[in-house]
């Protein structure tokens, strides 16, 4: 379990005063920032049955899907633009 529950999709969130000043988050010291900075190094595997789709794991661990969802739902960006950005960032 990560400190304070799920970690933010957008690593910039851990720099926001509202996040850093949260009593639960503060109780973990630098750990939330360390976890957020390690997201780019996480390897996720895409297992279907007994087959491992490593490309699926690369896409999942890159955070590109979460970033696209955040762009649309929080950033009010155009869905097609968010999809185009996600596609560009998976290559």
Instruction: Tell me the pLDDT tens digit for each residue of 44-78.
Output: 667 777 787 777 777 877 889 889 999 999 999 99
Half-sphere exposure of 91 toward its Cβ, with a 13 Å CA cutoff?
Answer: 4
Instruction: Tell me the pLDDT tens digit for each residue of 81-90.
Output: 999 999 998 8
Question: What is d(CA 45, CA 13) in angstroms, rounded to the nearest whole number?
Answer: 26
- CA 9 vs CA 38, 50, 53, 54: distances in Å: 12, 29, 23, 21
Cβ distance 36 to 11 under 8 Å? yes
Question: What is d(CA 17, CA 25) in angstroms, rounded to the nearest whole number?
Answer: 11
End-to-end CA distance of the chain: 31
């Amino acid at each position: 379990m990560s400190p304070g529950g799920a970690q933010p999709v957008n690593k910039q969130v851990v720099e926001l005063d509202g996040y850093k000043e949260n009593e639960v988050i503060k109780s973990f010291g630098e750990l939330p920032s360390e976890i957020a900075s390690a997201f780019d190094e996480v390897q996720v595997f895409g297992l279907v049955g007994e087959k491992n789709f490593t490309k699926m794991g690369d896409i999942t661990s890159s955070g590109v899907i979460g970033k696209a969802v955040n762009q649309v739902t929080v950033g009010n960006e155009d869905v097609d633009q968010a999809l185009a950005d996600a596609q560009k960032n998976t290559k």
